[in-house]
Structure 1
Amino acid sequence: MTISRRGRGTAGNREARPQTSRGATTIFAQDTANKKNLLLLVQMRWVAVVGQVATIAIVYSWLDVDLPLPAMASVIAFLVGLNVLTLIRLRHTRDVGNVELFVELLLDVAALTVQLCLSGGASNPFVSLYLLQVIIGAVLLEDWSTWALLLVTSACFIGLTVVYRPLAILGQRGADDELFSLHTRGMFICFVLAASLLVFFVTRINRNLRARDLRLAELRQQSAEEHHIVRMGLLASGAAHELGTPLSTLSVIVNDWRRVPALAGDPEILHDLDEMKTQLNRCKSIVTGILLSSGEARGEGTVRTTVRAFIDELVADWRALRNPALLDYVNRFSPDEAIVSDLALKQVIFNVFDNALEASPAWVGVMVERQGGRLIITVNDRGPGFPADIVEHVGKPYRSTKGRPGSGLGLFLVVNVVRKLGGTVAAANAPSRGARVTLTFPLAALSQEAEHG
């Protein structure tokens, strides 16, 4: 699995979409807010449908006003069909732009205009509902589309003063005072309806906008952290290149010393030389791992394996290198699954093991299990546990209890690499004593290259 290719997808491709990281995150958050706001428009349209049905029934039956029921029913059917189509589209897309919101509001204005034209035109008290459409447009839309919506509603209002079907009261109650009384009651109903809808939907829209701003802040923080990791990776890669030559030189010198008669005859010196050779080989292996993890010779660093085999081998390697006093290792992952691993993933888990060993030299516990489509690795220790600020801000750089320069980067790298794979890292203190770090990996991300490689 190539870590550098594991970033989560953005909100889709657009012709005018900026190619910068900050631009992509901004548009992703904006699209999410627009989708929620479109769902609010759908809800408002359902309210409009119910309200129109109730109003038509009351006006026609109770107030004895003659209305063209088939034509008005067809407008209501149009709104229902528009809502159904909108909901279907929202299931198959993640992008909702300003133009779509503008068109949806225009269709609502058109439906309202037809209903008003069939029921008295500009003299209908519900004509003030145009203002509701304009206010919602001012909250949701860009400037140009808000002004366009205002011009359209103004034109519709003017048109209704010329083209409309006059209201006709059935029976003997067609006097002017009855019409005035009807108009007054309609204005009151319209005011209550518009005010209630405004309070409800504007507060919901503001909540969506606040959620968008929070998401934007999180995405920008994530982008900054990933930029920090790139710089660290470049530094590590450069250092690995620079260290390669002196390590090779030292290895040659040690081999030459072994052939010197005065040294070869001393068993204690030979033992020391063997130990130096072992440590040099380990340093060269670490340098090679850094180069592989930073993207060089990537094809040599990836390995096809299974989850159980990968974790078993990883734990065995860590046990041999670190020699912990007691490692309580349980692998309950079942059924097994094919994955592609590389040194970066191995190093991530090594870092968590190393932190647990440093906090608790006497005992480290590792539990591996499967929960649905996820791999869960839980690492426990019996150390002093995490301070409250570390648990609250797990994975933030330079937050550590070790007090050394550069401390806190290990867990920071762990969190970001796991996040690249679509997983999570959770840190907590055990109820009695010690700390617990839980790594969660989606198996789909780990096995993707195994299936398509």
Structure 2
Amino acid sequence: MIERPPGFADGTHVAGRQNLRLLIQLRWIAVLGQVLAIVVAVDGFSLALPLFNMALVVGLLIVYNLFSQLRLKWHFPVSQIELFLALLVDVMALTAQLYLSGGATNPFIFLYLLQVALAAVLLQRRTTWMMAGVTSAAFAGLVLTHHHGYTLPLDLGGGLNSPFVLGMLVCFALNAVLLAAFITRITQNVRTRDARLAALRQRASEEEHIVHMGLLASGAAHELGTPLATLDVILGDWAHAPAVAVDAELQRDVRDMQAQVQRCKAILSGILMSAGEVRGEVLTRTTVTAFLDGLVAQWRQAHPWARLKYSRRIDTDAVVIADQGLQQMVFNVLNNALEASPTLQQLTAVLENGQLMIEVCDRGPGFVREVLDSLGKPYRSTKAQPGRGLGLFLSHKVARSLSGTLSANNLPEGGACVTIRFPLSALTPEDADESVK
């Protein structure tokens, strides 16, 4: 069994084989049409055609078509050059038959336009124009010369000096150019549309999977609310227990556990709020400065060993809503920076002209080209662990929900930066019409 080459199942290779199969089918129709035309011309119109030579052309075309069918059984991709050569063989066969049966006086000469149309649909723009040039040159050659033993009753003597012949040549060339131009453009539009639809289908499939994960996370958040509330009550009782009250170390442990329970409840609230549900909490109004400072303080508390440098430049300390989705997005980017560069992370926030920019940089190895090229797509990760690669994808979705963007780049001196930009109006409450001074 012949092994298929890598990428054989790619859509381009499949389309190439299908196009070659279509040319084979059309060539069988052409063979049948040529035989029928010769029979009608000889028996119906009593025209004295060079039957041996014309039959030889038909025979060679049949042999080539049989070889093409055998070629389809070989598991190799069909290239544009191969399709162009196949069309060129058809043009040569048609030129030979026209040469033997009257040249430019043969009404079947306009079958050249079929080859131009096929090239415009199947081939790239450059090869399409080459086919238009080849057929126009063949037309001009047939005007100047044909088989000396036979001429059709229509006399086109004078060659290119004849206004009628010159008009036919100009008409053919014009038709070939228009076919090549417009069919090529239409085909390109169709291919662009198909590529856009394929991208939309891929995106819908990815988002459907993420929505499914979000539903599972939302359900888990609901389920975890009850045991966390129970733990909160129990820890509250422990805090007032006599055995704990006299032991300072136990008091510290209980306070730490209560803080972690509250943090878990806050995370669950953020998940449910992002999913459009609320666990009884109201939306928190704050300012840009307080929101960013609190975000950094909370992340530092959860990662006390991290070395995060934080700076901000805020031109107007406006009232905003403490968006849980934005907070989780920044936490995710910071977590990635900490994993890539445990010794140093840097967060810079700049608010200018109503646009908030949050930049997280590290001094790690940077992003590989594959991740940069597919930024915003799920499961694009170099970490060989199942389920990885969703962080930047989800962050990209959050940024887009805020009418913003998320971009990533590698630094010349080493390390990487992730930049989040969005209009501050996406976080501004509707009834906040003045800034906090």
Indicate the TM-score class for this superposition, using the shorter chain for normalisation.
Answer: 0.5 to 0.7
Instruction: Describe the SS at the equivalent of 1:239.
Output: helix
Deviates more, 1:291-300 or 1:193-202: 291-300
Q: For residue 411 of structure 1, what is the aligned residue in structure 2?
A: 392
Change in CA separation of 1:283 and 1:215 when aligned onto 2, cut-off 3 Å: same
- Partners of 2:188 and 2:421 in 1: how far apart? 31
Query: Relative to structure 1, is the Cα distance of residues 335 and 199 closer, same or farther in structure 2, using a 3 angstrom cutoff?
Result: farther
How far the C-alpha of 1:394 sits from its partner, in A, is: 2.6
**1:307-318 mapped onto 2 (5 Å cutoff):** 310-318=291-299
Q: Secondary structure at the match of 2:277?
A: coil
* Gap change, CA 1:279 and 1:229, over 3 Å in 2: same
Asked if 1:356 is matched to 2:337, the reply is: yes
User: Is 2:323–2:427's contact at 8 Å kept on the other side of the alignment?
Assistant: no
The 2-side partners of 1:275 and 1:400 are apart by 34
- Root-mean-square deviation (CA, aligned residues, Å) is 3.7
After superposition, where does 1:29-68 map in structure 2 within 5 Å?
none
> Which residue matches 1:367?
348
CA shift for structure 1 position 404: 4.1
Does the CA contact (< 8 Å) of 1:304 and 1:450 recur in 2?
no
Q: Bigger shift: 239-248 or 348-357? A: 348-357
Evaluate the alpha carbon distance shift between residue 448 and residue 286 of structure 1 in structure 2; reply closer, same or farther with a 3 A threshold.
closer
Instruction: Trace 1:96-107 onto structure 2 (pairs within 5 A).
Output: none
Q: 1:391 to 1:257 in 2, by over 3 A?
A: same
Tell me the distance in 1 between the aligned counterparts of 2:295 and 2:177: 62
2:193 equivalent to 1:212 = yes
TM-score, structure 1 normalization:
0.53
Residues in 2 aligned to 1:371 and 1:263: alpha-carbon distance in whole angstroms:
51
Contact 2:306/2:338 (8 A) holds in 1: no
Match of 1:296 in 2: 277
Q: In the TM superposition, what is the alpha-carbon distance from 1:208 to its structure 2 partner?
A: 1.8
The 8 Å contact of residues 340 and 450 in structure 1, kept in 2 or not, is answered as no
Counterpart Cα distance in 1 of 2:354 and 2:184: 38
Q: How does 1:186-335 map to 2 (within 5 A)?
A: 186-297=167-278, 302=283, 310-323=291-304, 325-332=306-313, 334=315
| Alpha-carbon distance in structure 2 between the residues aligned to 1:381 and 1:337 | 29
Kindly indicate whether the alpha-carbon contact (under 8 Å) linking 1:398 and 1:406 is maintained by their aligned counterparts in 2. yes
In 2, the alpha carbon distance for the partners of 1:450 and 1:218 equals: 39
SS of 1:329's partner is strand
Aligned to 2:56: none
Q: For residue 181 of structure 2, what is the amino acid of its counterpart?
A: F
Look up the SS of the partner of 1:361 in the other structure.
coil
1:367 aligned counterpart, secondary structure:
strand
Match of 1:429 among 372, 387, 410: 410
Residue deviations 1:219-269 (CA, integer Å, cap 9, x gap): 111111221221111111111111111111112222222333233222221
Structure 1 residues 243 and 392, CA, compared in 2 at 3 Å: closer, same or farther? same
Contact 1:292/1:301 (8 A) holds in 2: no
| Matched position secondary structure for 2:357 | strand
Q: Is structure 2 residue 322 aligned with structure 1 residue 347?
A: no
Matched with 1:385 is: 366
Alpha-carbon distance in structure 1 between the residues aligned to 2:177 and 2:431:
56
Kept after mapping to 1: 8 A contact 2:371/2:380: yes
Compare 237-246 and 304-313 and name the one that shifted more.
Answer: 304-313
Structure having the higher Rg: 2
Cα distance between partner residues in 1 of 2:385 and 2:218: 23
Distance 1:428 1:203, change over 3 A: same
Taking CA–CA contacts closer than 8 Å with sequence separation of 6 or more, which of the two structures ends up with the larger relative contact order?
1
Shift of 1:297: 2.6
User: Are the structure 2 counterparts of residues 228 and 373 from structure 1 closer, same or farther at C-alpha, using a change threshold of 3 Å?
Assistant: farther
- One-letter identity of the residue aligned with 1:274: R
Q: Could you tell me which amino acid in structure 2 is paired with residue 292 of structure 1?
A: M
Shift of 1:382: 0.9
Give the count of matched residue pairs.
281
Question: How has the CA–CA distance of structure 1 residues 204 and 380 changed in structure 2, closer, same or farther, with 3 Å as cutoff?
Answer: same
1:337 deviates by: 6.9
Q: Kindly provide the amino acid, as one letter, of the partner of residue 199 in structure 1.
A: A
Q: Distance in 1 between matches of 2:226 and 2:196?
A: 46
- Measure, in 2, the Cα distance between the counterparts of 1:442 and 1:264: 50
- The answer on whether the counterparts of 2:269 and 2:279 sit within 8 Å (CA) in structure 1 is no
- Secondary structure of 1:344's counterpart equals helix
Contact 2:379–2:387 (CA under 8 A) maintained in structure 1: yes
SS at match of 1:188: helix
Q: Distance in 2 between matches of 1:422 and 1:314?
A: 21
Could you say what secondary structure the match of 2:375 adopts?
A: coil
2:366 partner letter = G
- Find the aligned partners of 1:336 and 1:208 in 2 and give their Cα distance: 48
Aligned-pair identity (%): 53
Q: TM-score, normalised by structure 2?
A: 0.55
